[in-house]
């Protein structure tokens, strides 16, 4: 029988469910059913070409579907593309705007977690204990972050990319886009596994399906380098609409080269601007200023000097309180205020 056999009949022998125990759907194309494994094997040569074509169509439907991004669980605004922290106490991702606001309310004392209101856990074994505790309940972020600790050799763990990749695979299977992205990076760079660009692309595609903009950009670049420009720009447009600047630059380049139509570029630009407006808040702007100032102090080698002055005036005991100090004292010219502006 042909692949156009009604879905409620066996594609090989024509039996309906009333003449068999239960018809089983072809798991690749989902378009035909069989009454037995034997019928599926017999029908395979006839069905193979149509099956592969339909399976590829179904895969692309998932791959090119726009995925709605996550919201911060505190302010409920779309999560920014940068400026997000993981809290091991409650295993939540929280935007740094909310973390900054909580630190301001603490007025010099160590701030609590904005979500669970518990004290922040210092680096070390306690971090690992909490993350492993969350893993026992199947928490996807716990798997992903323990993998990061192994990859970076953090919190007393020895660097182990093989273990990190195992944990990223598990986190990806649980629905973590970033985990699949990181696993793709491992295959691309040969970290803990043999370098394999095809597997890298496969895991980046899985990550893109779950909403990773970095992964979608990488897949777009891969398709472009392979000469599949139409597919490449479909990826770039989706990622740009979700807020990715690098992808927007590629869409603009595609428009200038005549690959992307004018209305496609205009609609993409409007969507990009809209999502970034949705991500903005006073608290997030404040957090960016604070952490940019901290980064500048670190680059200038001023951290110890600032802490020495801060201890004298504020009674700070250790560098862990530096961010809280900056939050309290921050101003446009805070480096000048402390006589430390060296460039």
Asked if residue 65 has pLDDT above 90, the reply is yes
Tokens of 216: 């979608």
pLDDT of 322 higher than 70: no
Residues 211, 175 contacting (CB under 8 angstroms): no
User: What pLDDT was estimated at residue 288?
Assistant: 83
For the cut 60, the answer to whether the pLDDT of residue 318 exceeds it is no
pLDDT in tens, 118-174: 887 777 888 899 999 999 999 999 999 999 999 999 889 999 999 999 999 999 999
Instruction: Report d(CA 9, CA 22) in Å as an integer.
Output: 10
Is it the case that residue 333 has pLDDT exceeding 50? Answer: no
Q: Using alpha carbons, select from 282, 278, 277, 319 the residue that is nearest to residue 104.
A: 282
pTM: 0.81
Could you give the C-alpha distances from 1 to 8, 35, 39, 45, in angstroms and in order?
13, 13, 11, 12
The β-bridge partners of 92 are 87
Q: Which residue has the higher pLDDT, 122 or 191?
A: 191
Per-residue pLDDT band for 296 (boundaries 50, 70, 90) equals: low
Q: How far is CA 67 from the centre of its chain?
A: 12
Q: Higher pLDDT residue, 6 or 290? A: 290
Interval 91-126: pLDDT, tens: 999 998 998 888 777 655 566 888 999 887 777 888
Query: What are phi and psi for residue 25, nearest 5 degrees?
Result: -75, 145
| pLDDT tens sequence across 201-243 | 999 999 999 999 999 999 999 999 999 999 999 999 999 999 9
Share of the chain above pLDDT 90, in %: 63
Q: How far is CA 25 from CA 33, 57, 110, 231, in A?
A: 4, 17, 58, 30
């Amino acid at each position: 029988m042909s692949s156009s056999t009604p879905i409620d009949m066996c594609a090989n022998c024509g039996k309906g469910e009333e003449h068999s125990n239960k018809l089983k759907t072809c798991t690749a194309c989902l378009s035909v059913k069989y009454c037995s494994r034997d019928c599926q094997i017999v029908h395979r040569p006839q069905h193979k070409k149509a099956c592969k074509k339909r399976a590829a169509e179904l895969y692309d439907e998932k791959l090119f579907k726009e995925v709605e991004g996550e919201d911060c669980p505190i302010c409920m605004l779309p999560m920014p593309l940068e400026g997000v922290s993981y809290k091991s106490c409650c295993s939540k991702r929280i935007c740094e705007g909310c973390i900054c606001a909580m630190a301001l309310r603490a007025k010099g004392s160590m701030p609590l977690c904005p979500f669970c209101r518990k004290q922040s856990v210092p680096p070390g074994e306690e971090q690992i204990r909490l993350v492993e505790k969350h893993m026992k309940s199947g928490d996807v972020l716990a798997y992903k972050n323990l993998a990061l600790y192994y990859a970076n050799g953090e919190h007393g763990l020895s660097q182990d990319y093989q273990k990190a990749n195992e944990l990223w695979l598990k986190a990806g299977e649980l629905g973590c886009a970033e985990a699949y992205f990181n696993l793709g990076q491992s295959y691309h760079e040969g970290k803990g596994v043999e370098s394999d660009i095809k597997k890298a692309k496969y895991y980046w595609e899985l990550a893109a399906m779950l909403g990773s903009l970095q992964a979608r950009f990488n897949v777009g670049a891969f398709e472009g380098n392979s000469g599949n420009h139409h597919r490449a720009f479909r990826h770039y447009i989706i990622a740009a609409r979700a807020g990715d600047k690098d992808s927007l630059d590629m869409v603009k380049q595609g428009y200038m080269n005549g690959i992307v139509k004018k209305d496609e570029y205009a609609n993409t630009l409007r969507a990009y601007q809209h999502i970034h407006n949705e991500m903005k808040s006073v608290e997030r702007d404040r957090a960016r200023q604070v952490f940019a100032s901290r980064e500048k102090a670190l680059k200038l080698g001023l951290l110890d000097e600032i802490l020495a002055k801060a201890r004298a005036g504020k009674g700070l005991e250790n560098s862990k309180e530096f961010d809280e100090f900056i939050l309290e004292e921050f101003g446009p010219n805070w480096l000048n205020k402390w006589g430390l502006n060296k460039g």
